[in-house]
Structure 1
Amino acid sequence: MSQNEIKNPWTTLSGEEKYENPWIKVTEYQVLNPSGGKGIYGKVHFKNKAIGIVPVDAEGNTWLVGQYRYTLNAFHWEIPEGGSPSHEQAEFSARRELQEETGLTAKKWTELTQIHTSNSVTDEVGYIFLAEDLSQGDSAREASEADMKVWKLPLSEAVAMVLRGEITDAISMTGLLLVARLKDR
């Protein structure tokens, strides 16, 4: 059965914006759930697309970036990532983010997948790219990335970090596992 053949079992009675800033909007909906009971549902709408890039060189190395994530109150390693304005092509944003965070540019780009980062509370869509045929230049980080660390390591070690639970970011996990699968073929 295709996704398009399944009818929406939820009924929206009303919606009220509760909060908005330049990156997100939070709306609370009064709903009838699939069993017909009244309830509420909160949705976080992201104003940008999420972008993740797995750079891989000819020797099978990749690059991770590490930074202190305010929301998690901890330092985390992840693939180069960023936001893409809704009007901007995802690949254009990916090229910019890779250069900003790592100083890398790539001649070959492959869109690997689109994902929903947390479909129970948000409509955020993420685009994950493989970047190859790399050249090193200078990075141009944003002020919020001033403490960012960059680590070049074998792709196999980054995948092992995912499997050990050391990389927990959903876009990073998905991207690294997809690239590892592609490279194994």
Structure 2
Amino acid sequence: MMDHKMKRAGWTVTSRETVFENPWLELNSYEGIRPDGKPGTYGVMSPKGYAILILPLFEDGTIMLVGQPRFALDNYSWEIPEGGSLKSDPPLDGAKRELKEETGLTAAYWQEILQAEVSNSLTDEVAFGYLATGLVEGEPEPEGTEIIETRRLHFLDALEWVMSGKIRDLSSVAMILKAHYMASNGRIDGPLAAAMLTRE
């Protein structure tokens, strides 16, 4: 509940109620006056952490993808390693943890290449995306809710998966397209960019 009116995106918000909460997110319902002057209700899903996205890139121009069943759409998804990190922790710490958990990889070098709003009409979730290089392989440490397989393939093959719709996860699409732009425009180290953009 609120004890005063608040302006938000053209709305005059008069009250807020948390209608659902668990350890990972809140669902909040806002009551107020819409921009057209009529009364209205707006729902916002608020995760308690950031979305974390990692593109693990090997020196030979290959990347590591993960495949897993996704509960919400009851489908199977190929995507880059990704997860969440509490807002009390630096996003990079979460990225290092998620990469190790899902793939077993550790990285010597990290570069933030993306900040994004995940679905800004429905949620206030913000994503941080990292390019991870200098990779060393190890054993994955998946959580009990995860059934994960990994696949290493050339970056250009992953780009084709994006363009054909085999990769549909929007965070993965954005990260792969951003990395392609960076490699094509001199924003990734020359030999690494060349390996990304040329199949042997």
Q: TM-score range by the shorter chain?
A: over 0.9
1:98 corresponds to: 99
Distance in 2 between the 1:33 and 1:168 partners? 33
Q: TM-score, length-normalised on structure 1?
A: 0.93
1:40 corresponds to: 41
Percentage of pairs with the same residue: 39
CA apart distance, 1:8: 3.7
CA apart distance, 1:138: 1.2
CA apart distance, 1:118: 0.5
1:3 corresponds to: none
Distance in 1 between the 2:25 and 2:175 partners? 24
What does 1:38-77 align with in structure 2 at a 5 Å threshold? 38-77=39-78
What one-letter code is carried by the residue in structure 2 that aligns with 1:47?
Answer: K
What one-letter code is carried by the residue in structure 2 that aligns with 1:183?
Answer: A
CA apart distance, 1:184: 1.6
Distance in 2 between the 1:79 and 1:172 partners? 6
Alignment RMSD (CA, Å): 1.1
Distance in 2 between the 1:113 and 1:130 partners? 9
Deviation track 1:28-50 (CA, whole Å, cap 9, x = no partner) reads 11121111111110010100111
Deviation track 1:70-117 (CA, whole Å, cap 9, x = no partner) reads 001011001001110111111111011111111111111000111111
Deviation track 1:101-149 (CA, whole Å, cap 9, x = no partner) reads 111111110001111111001000110000011111111111111x211
Instruction: Classify the secondary structure of the residue corresponding to 2:10.
Output: coil
Runs of 4+ in 1 over 2 A off after TM superposition: none
Distance in 2 between the 1:33 and 1:63 partners? 45
| Structure 2 segments unaligned to the other structure (5+ residues) | 1-7, 186-200
Distance in 2 between the 1:9 and 1:59 partners? 50
What does 1:22-171 align with in structure 2 at a 5 Å threshold? 22-145=23-146, 147-171=147-171
| Structure 1 segments unaligned to the other structure (5+ residues) | 1-6
CA apart distance, 1:165: 1.5
What one-letter code is carried by the residue in structure 1 that aligns with 2:177?
Answer: L
Bigger radius of gyration among the two: 2
Distance in 2 between the 1:80 and 1:164 partners? 20
Instruction: Classify the secondary structure of the residue corresponding to 1:161.
Output: helix
Instruction: Classify the secondary structure of the residue corresponding to 2:135.
Output: strand
2:179 corresponds to: 179
Distance in 2 between the 1:93 and 1:117 partners? 17
What one-letter code is carried by the residue in structure 2 that aligns with 1:142?
Answer: E
Q: TM-score, length-normalised on structure 2?
A: 0.86
